[in-house]
Amino acid sequence: MAGIVVVFDFDKTIIDCDSDNWVVDGLGATDLFNELLPTMPWNTLMDRMMKELHSQGKTIDDIVEVLKRTPIHPRIIPAIQSAKALGCDLRIVSDANLFFIKTILEHHGLTDSFSEINTNPGFVDEQGRLRIFPFHDFTNSSHGCSLCPPNMCKGLIIERIQASLATEGKKKLIYLGDGSGDYCPSLKLTEGDYVMPRKNFPVWDLICRNPMLIKAKTHEWTDGEEMERILIQIIKTIFDAAQMFSPSSDYKLQTISIVFPRPLSVPH
Q: 25: annotated binding-site residue?
A: no
* Torsion sign across C-alpha atoms 36, 41, 46, 52: negative
Separation CA 19–CA 196 (nearest Å): 21
Q: 61: annotated binding-site residue?
A: no
Separation CA 50–CA 47 (nearest Å): 5
Of all helices (H) and strands (E), which one includes residue 217? strand 217-218
Per-position DSSP letters for 152-172, written without gaps between them? --HHHHHHHHHHHHHTT---E
Give the active site residue among 9, 47, 89, 182: 9
| CA proximity to 177, closest of 169, 190, 192, 187 | 187
- 9 among known catalytic residues: yes
Q: 178: annotated binding-site residue?
A: yes
Q: 9: annotated binding-site residue?
A: yes
Q: 95: annotated binding-site residue?
A: yes
- 250 among known catalytic residues: no
Q: Which residues are annotated as a binding site for substrate?
A: 20, 95
Q: Which residues are annotated as a binding site for Mg(2+)?
A: 9, 11, 178
Residues labelled as active-site residues: 9, 11
